[in-house]
Structure 1
């Protein structure tokens, strides 16, 4: 990272770190951590000022936590303050007596010589720090990078967890060869579970009666379905979790899943998993309506369809395997 060249003698390092001149090393480090987290360039990619501020913070920590460098810096700052005070006095005295002005100018020259000496000593300490480096500064910056990395990883894990959709295994009694499949067709099941939320995928086995896999759009919707849906009174359903089981629901969550969000279909034919023809037509209508929707842009819609297609294929393969094992 390129850093601007700084004239440290013109900076108030204590003000940069927001500490007083008598601050201990512990107080200086604590303040640095707070300011560095706020101004780190990785957290402020669109703010060019952050690079300069972060560099000043680092330089302030480097100098004020090194005893010889801090002493030299304090001397030059003390000399500057004395010079400012002297100049003010000279301005007022200049109006009074010429002799007094000459005396003070001589004193100023002496002080200037002293300032040059102090500044040279301070620059020598700065050069020493540049060559040796500050171990404390390096350690603090490594800790800062580690904290930023953990924050980024935690955010990524949360985003990945939010993409998981719940899947349920549905079973009911149905004799082999029963064309009614125990009273549960694709349309019956779809209507039955649509009241809980969007049905992303519904796969009814065409070889093994009494079995289906359901994917809902919301963890809460799936939890409500598991806790409340019993199916037809004469042929109850049994629901079990395949993936994405959620914690018990509160009243706010229940309110959310009972609101109807609309259907989202993504179906594909398979030699052992079939859907009604009218469902394919509905899928085309849904696709047209999605294209005209102002709530979702085209890229988001395509990504959603691709994800649903991949998930559906995985569920098909899963049901095939279960049928073969039984």
Structure 2
């Protein structure tokens, strides 16, 4: 792992440190473009060029640190995935704000339309209660759909498939099981929260298309595990052959097939079937966040009322 010193925090944008564009544009930059930017900034920001600047040395060290970080291919992929996650979260938050404002506007518009039509006056509190009841029904429908989707991903169940369907073996609608030869079991030591679904997808997509990732929540904070569903057996075999790739990370990964040739579990210690509440698949994140936000909003309205 490249040493990043004081600039390895989550709040540092290493592209911006080198005065490069960030986001998707930054992720598309070549190594040569990054090296050119570093050489240019080194000449401009060298401490010898700024003898009166007390922060010149620290700034130059940060520049070198970010350059080394972006030169490390695996660290850069993880960093790009983290930046993409931040952008998506910001977009979802903005969309939620727009929907909330539209709901309030629609409610006010209905009140004005009712009043202008000479209808009977309805108490605003009653209107609010009706709106809460309607939203509660919407939330229940979403929770039911959410639970049904998660149940379909419990390994070994008759409806076990990937979030995107398995074009060769079936889809969630027809209940055909996912080929276990495409399924990998991944585990790691040193922190159950270290690897997210997005991080694992970035790592395994170099061996082929990743259909889905299911993260098993654990009570222990010192271990973590996940199920990775590749698009083909060949991709899964390639991932199993490249164990050296997983040792370059600060927290190494242990990768094994879901089942050995004899049919027994890949790990000596069997793990219980994951409950619906224990799974954090990439296909569930948006729905789960939306449902919980709505539940919190409904609870706040109930407390204020």
| TM-score normalized by the length of structure 2 | 0.32
Richer in helix (by share): 1
RCO comparison, higher one (Cα < 8 Å, 6+): 2
Query: Could you tell me the TM-score, scaled by structure 1's length?
Result: 0.30
Q: Which has the larger radius of gyration?
A: 1
